[in-house]
């Protein structure tokens, strides 16, 4: 039997084996150290040399060995995002928008997102495991509550993390948030300026700080304008804010003196428009409707254009900002907070012109 000739390693190019830093060094006749420092962005490598090394790496199909990098840098290029074990959350359009932004920014920055779910009572054990084994570089925390134990643990552990939202220790960690207080203070102010003295506020789940902050803003706006607390009827949804808008609006409509409706979610507002219309009232004419609009990509607001006044802020942009902030911490070991800008869009009609300036929250 004739043994077929052995194929040369050089035949077939990079398909036969992975290109290594040693191969790049041999190709360019420079040291392995220079190759490594150029590819990792060190400033002591000249720009022309760096460009030549990067171009050669691309041409030869070089990809870094993550395990080798981790041994040298003690970093995994992974970010953990621990979720509550809640089936409803994973179909919540608000969560999906944030996740889309998180995944896109992580891909651009060559990081992986390690997502897991656990019951509330077991979540801290998951954080402890990740910190103990060093399998991730940082964490994303969402839906903070007052004196959140997850934040307490991560602060004590001294690891990079970012919070979508913020609680009373916001100066000690990185966060990404909209100005929940300012937005809902201004929406309430707008309704008052348009002459409304009976308002229904359909809020989110007040177990979470974003919702309690919004409610406090409404209280304060009333007090600052000399109006009694009973000016506003408060109705609270549960998390996630998906299907409660129609039912809660119907409850509010039982009081015919209510002339304005304010919502924590554009999803609830869209359902609210249906309930108001069904009751024979005209949004944007004899009823004012205002809402937070998180710019849900799948939601077509064209049919209700001119009927809702809203504050816009992209959840997808927030997701990208979360990843950018935690990566910045991983690489620079510093923390900061970021407010996502919000802008007023005013509906047409009787409520559309009293306070017509754009409002940007910074």
Residue that finishes a domain, picked among 5, 40, 64: 64
Identify whether 347 is part of a domain. Answer: no
187 & 293 share domain? yes
Q: Are residues 32 and 58 in the same domain?
A: yes
The CATH number covering residue 52 comes to 1.10.260.40
pLDDT of residue 112: 94
pLDDT at 68: 55
CA distance 290 to 259: 12
194 or 70: which carries more pLDDT confidence? 194
pLDDT one-digit tens code per residue, 47-65: 888 889 888 988 888 876 6
**pLDDT tens-digit series, residues 321-345:** 999 999 999 888 667 777 777 777 7
Interval 213-224: pLDDT, tens: 999 999 999 999
Domain match, 197 and 294 both:
yes
Kindly tell me if the per-residue pLDDT of 315 is higher than 70. yes
Residue 209 sits in a domain whose CATH number is 3.40.50.2300
The residue range of the domain holding 218 is 180-314
Co-location of 144 and 189 in the same domain: no
Average pLDDT of span 291-297:
92
Residue 354 lies in a domain: no
Shared domain for 234 and 305, answered yes or no, is yes
User: Among residues of the chain, what percentage have pLDDT more than 90?
Assistant: 57
User: What is each CA distance from 155 to 74, 136, 220, in whole angstroms?
Assistant: 20, 16, 32
Tell me how far apart the alpha carbons of residues 353 and 183 are, in angstroms, rounded to a whole number: 18
Q: Do both 202 and 306 map to the same domain? A: yes
Last residue in a domain, options 273, 298, 314: 314
pLDDT of residue 89: 78
What pLDDT score was predicted for residue 348? Answer: 42
Residue 306 lies in a domain: yes
CA distances for 228 relative to 53, 62, 63, 221, 234, angstroms: 69, 68, 65, 10, 13
Predicted TM-score (pTM) of the model is: 0.75
pLDDT at 103: 96
pLDDT in tens, 233-282: 999 988 776 668 999 999 999 999 999 999 999 999 999 999 999 999 99
Quick check: 355 pLDDT over 50?
A: no
Query: In this structure, is residue 349 part of a structural domain?
Result: no
pLDDT tens digits along 24-41: 889 898 888 888 888 776
Within-domain flag for 231: yes
pLDDT at 349 over 50: no
Q: How many independent structural domains does the chain possess?
A: 3
Cβ atoms of 199 and 257 closer than 8 Å: no
For residues 336 and 279, give the distance between their C-alpha atoms in angstroms, rounded to a whole number: 47
Give dist(CA 310, CA 327) in Å, integer.
Answer: 32
Q: Are residues 132 and 155 in the same domain?
A: yes
- Start-to-end CA distance of the chain, whole Å, equals 79
- What average pLDDT score do residues 149-174 get? 94
Reported as a single tens digit per residue, the pLDDT across 77-129 is 899 999 988 767 788 889 999 999 999 999 998 899 999 989 888 999 999 99
- For tokens 């509906």, the residue is 347
Residues 184 and 299 in one domain: yes
Query: Residue 177: pLDDT above 50?
Result: yes
Residue 258 domain-assigned (yes or no): yes
Cβ-proximal residues to 168 (8 Å cutoff; 6+ apart), any chain: 146, 147
| Range list of β-strands (E), 174-258 | 174-177, 199-203, 232-236
What is the pLDDT, as a whole number, of residue 284? Answer: 83
Domain assignment of residue 345, yes or no: no
Residue 74 — pLDDT band, cuts 50, 70, 90?
A: low
**Separation of alpha carbons 144 and 310, rounded Å:** 24
pLDDT band at 357 (very low <50, low <70, confident <90, very high): very low
Domain-embedded: residue 105? yes
User: What does the pLDDT read at residue 10?
Assistant: 41
Residues 193 and 166 in one domain: no
Q: Is the pLDDT of residue 360 over 60?
A: no
What average pLDDT does the structure give for the chain?
A: 85
> Domain check: are 204 and 261 in the same one?
yes
pLDDT band at 165 (very low <50, low <70, confident <90, very high): very high
Is there a single domain that holds both residue 130 and residue 142? yes
Task: Based on the fold, state whether residues 203 and 292 are members of the same structural domain.
Answer: yes
């Amino acid at each position: 039997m004739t043994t077929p000739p052995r194929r040369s390693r050089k035949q077939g190019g990079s398909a036969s084996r992975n290109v290594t830093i040693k191969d790049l060094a041999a190709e360019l006749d420079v040291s392995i150290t220079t190759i490594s420092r150029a590819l990792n962005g060190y400033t002591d490598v000249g720009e022309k040399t760096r460009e030549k090394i990067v171009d050669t790496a691309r041409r030869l199909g070089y990809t870094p060995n993550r395990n080798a990098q981790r041994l040298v840098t003690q970093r995994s290029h992974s970010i953990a995002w621990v979720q509550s074990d809640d089936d409803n959350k994973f179909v919540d359009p608000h969560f999906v928008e944030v996740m889309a932004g998180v995944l896109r920014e992580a891909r651009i920055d060559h990081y992986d997102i390690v997502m897991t779910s656990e019951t509330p009572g077991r979540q801290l054990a998951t954080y402890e495991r990740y910190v103990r084994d060093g399998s991730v570089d940082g964490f994303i925390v969402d839906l903070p509550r007052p004196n959140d134990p997850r934040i307490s643990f991560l602060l004590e552990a001294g690891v990079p993390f970012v919070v979508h939202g913020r609680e009373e220790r916001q100066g000690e960690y990185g966060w990404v948030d909209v100005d929940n207080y300012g937005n809902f203070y201004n929406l309430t102010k707008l309704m008052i300026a348009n002459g409304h003295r009976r308002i229904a506020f359909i809020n989110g789940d007040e177990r979470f700080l974003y919702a309690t902050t919004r409610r406090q803003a409404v209280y304060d706006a009333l007090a600052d304008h000399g109006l009694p607390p009973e000016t506003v009827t408060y109705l609270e949804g549960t998390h996630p804010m998906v299907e409660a808008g129609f039912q809660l609006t119907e409850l509010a409509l039982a009081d015919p003196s209510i002339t304005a409706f304010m919502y924590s979610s554009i999803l609830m507002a869209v359902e609210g428009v249906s309930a108001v219309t069904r009751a024979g009232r005209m949004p944007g004419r004899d009823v004012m409707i205002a809402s937070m609009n998180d710019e849900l990509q799948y939601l077509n607001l064209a049919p209700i254009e001119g009927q809702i006044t809203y504050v816009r802020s992209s959840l997808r942009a927030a997701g990208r900002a979360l990843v950018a902030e935690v990566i910045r911490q991983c690489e620079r070991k510093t923390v900061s907070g970021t407010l996502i800008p919000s802008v007023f869009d005013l509906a047409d009609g009787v409520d559309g012109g009293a306070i017509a300036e754009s409002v940007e929250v910074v």
